[in-house]
Amino acid sequence: MIGPIAFDRGNIIPIMPILRANRAFTRVRHLPTCRSIAFILSITLLVASARSEFPEKPIKIIIPTNTGGEVDTMARIFQRALQQNSIIPVKTVILNLPGAGGTLGTRRLKESPPDGYTIGLWTPGIVTSKTMGIVTYDHSDFAIIGRTGYSELALGVLNSSKYDSIESLIAQSKERPRSVKVATNIGLPVHLTPLMFAEGAGIEFNFVQTGGGSKRLASILGKHTDLSLFSLLEFIKFGSTGLTPLVVLSNERTGHFPDVPTAKELGVDLVMNDARIWIAPKDTPPERIEYIANALKSVMALPEIIEEYKTLGIYNEFGEPEEIDAFLDNMSERVAPLVAKARKL
């Protein structure tokens, strides 16, 4: 599939510094002593930099959402841990690049120099943005560093709704197609995952665009929509408001909600989790990827992070790149045939 023609505008920005550098250079040329000193200095620097080990300057973490978003908060928890425990000798800088479903951020990361000094944190949305035709790249155009934990997902309703179990929801939905309104963010995993479920169960949902996590929750609480995808933690956290899971999308039933069936039990082959995936530009040297992966692993082993993961409802389990690659490949394959449906709404 050929995507929209893209003009690369990224080149405009560095023009100014280059011009200035040139001017400085011409001035220096008239002073031979200065030039030789500069030469010797730069050689020394080059040698020094060749010897010293990665990392030696701050590492930028590109976050494709606003400050305060879920992914951003996750990155900042890591930033805090890296800073307080001196796990790496340099600082980390968080760069928020929100917009266009996270694609502004992922594109900047893709175009960043592959030297390990620019990395990013994102979600399986990296796959859906391509399938929806917003961008022409997906996870295979990045080097995957790893996944720092995941949370289980479930589809749920308000306990006062007319759907008291997933069976009754499917039955009523078969009787009256498109009668179940699903609060979603069109084109993102939160849209395509319920769509995959509907396909598997042989029903049709009516997707309603509501926006990010908090707006979906507000829409469910206000009974404007019926069903939405949330992480298990959200079901636990907002349980007092009446938010109840109907079906979990994990391999087995969970301890928190032992009575809630899995999609597999219903004959729907859908296991999906909400992963936070660290990525780097494609040709980043493998040893630097490994260095960063090890730093992330050490953060995850810190007692306070283990505690924090528990309260955030995230499984403290590092996902190796191969595993994540396979997971995203599988998702990409399964989502692709649904694109026509997803776009039609």
Partner 1 sequence: MEFFNALQHVLSPYPFLWIFIGVAGGIFVGAIPGLGGGMLMALTVPLTFSMDSTNAVLLLMGMHVGSVSGGLISATLLKMPGTPSAMMTTFDGHPMAKQGQPGKALSLGIGASLFGGIISGVFLIALAPPLSNFAHKFGPWEYVTMVMMAMVLIASISQGSMLKGLMAAMLGLMAAMPGLNESDGQLRLTYGFDSMGDGFNLLPVLLGIFVMSQIIKDALEINKKGVGIAMSKTERIFPKFGEWKRHTVNIARSSCIGTWVGILPGIGASISSMVAYGIAKTFSKNPKRFGTGHDEGIVAAESANNANAGGALIPLITIGIPGAPVDAILLGAMIMHQIQPGPLLFQTNGDLVWSLMTGYIVANIVMFLIMVFSARHLAKVVNINRTYLIPVVFAFCLIGAYAPSNRMFDVWVVIGFGVVGYFLDRARFPLGPFVIGYVLAGIMEAELRSGLQMSEGSFGPMMTRPIAATFTVISIVFLVYSLVQEWRSRKTIPTTESG
> Is 126 one of the binding residues for partner 1 (CB under 8 A)?
no
Q: Which single residue is written with the structure tokens 């800073």? A: 83
The distance of closest approach from Cβ of residue 140 to partner 1 in the complex, given in angstroms and rounded to an integer, is 19
Which two three-digit tokens encode residue 50? 């060749």
Closest to partner 1 by CB, 107 vs 264, is 107
DSSP string over 205-228: -EEEE--SHHHHHHHHHTTSS-BE
**Least distance (Å) between residue 295 CB and partner 1:** 18
Q: Which of residues 250-289 bind partner 1 (CB under 8 A)?
A: none
Mark the segment that binds partner 1 (CB under 8 A) among 73-81, 146-154, 166-174, 269-277. Answer: 73-81
Measured from the Cβ of residue 4, the count of other Cβ atoms closer than 10 Å reads 8
CA 110 – CA 97 distance, rounded (Å): 13
Instruction: Say if CB 140 and CB 297 are below 8 A apart.
Output: no
By CB under 8 A, residue 342 contacts partner 1: yes
What is the rounded CA–CA span in Å between residue 90 and residue 231? 34
Judged by CB under 8 A, the number of residues near partner 1 is 68
Please state, in angstroms and rounded to a whole number, the distance separating the CA atoms of residues 127 and 130: 6
Least CB distance to partner 1 at residue 126 (A): 15
Q: Which of 90, 221, 302, 338 binds partner 1 (CB under 8 A)?
A: 221
**C-alpha–C-alpha distance, residues 96 and 60, integer Å:** 10
Does 312 engage in binding with partner 1 (CB under 8 A)? yes
Residues in the chain: 345
Between 242 and 286, whose beta carbon lies closer to partner 1?
242
Shortest Cβ distance from residue 117 to partner 1 (Å)? 15
**Residue 224 found at the interface with partner 1 (CB under 8 A):** yes
Location of structure tokens 């479930």: 154
Q: How far apart are CA 92 and CA 296, in angstroms?
A: 12
Residues 135-154 touching partner 1, rule: CB under 8 A, are none
According to CB under 8 A, which residues from 234 to 253 bind partner 1? 237-238, 240-241
Question: Closer to partner 1 at the Cβ: 264 or 276?
Answer: 276
Binder of partner 1 out of 1, 2, 8, 21 (CB under 8 A): 8
3 state SS of 182: strand
Output the smallest distance, CB 343 to partner 1, in A: 7
What contacts 213, CB < 8 A, 6 or more positions away? 70, 230, 234
Integer CA distances (angstroms), 288 to 78, 91, 93, 283, in order? 18, 16, 17, 11
Burial bucket for residue 77 (CB in 10 Å: 0-12, 13-18, 19+): middle
Q: Scanning residues 188 to 207, which ones bind partner 1 (CB under 8 A)?
A: 188, 191, 206-207
**Residue ranges that bind partner 1, judged by CB under 8 A:** 4-9, 12-13, 66-69, 72-73, 76-77, 79-80, 83-84, 94-101, 103-104, 107-108, 132-134, 178, 181, 185-188, 191, 206-211, 214-215, 217-219, 221-225, 237-238, 240-241, 308, 311-312, 342-343, 345
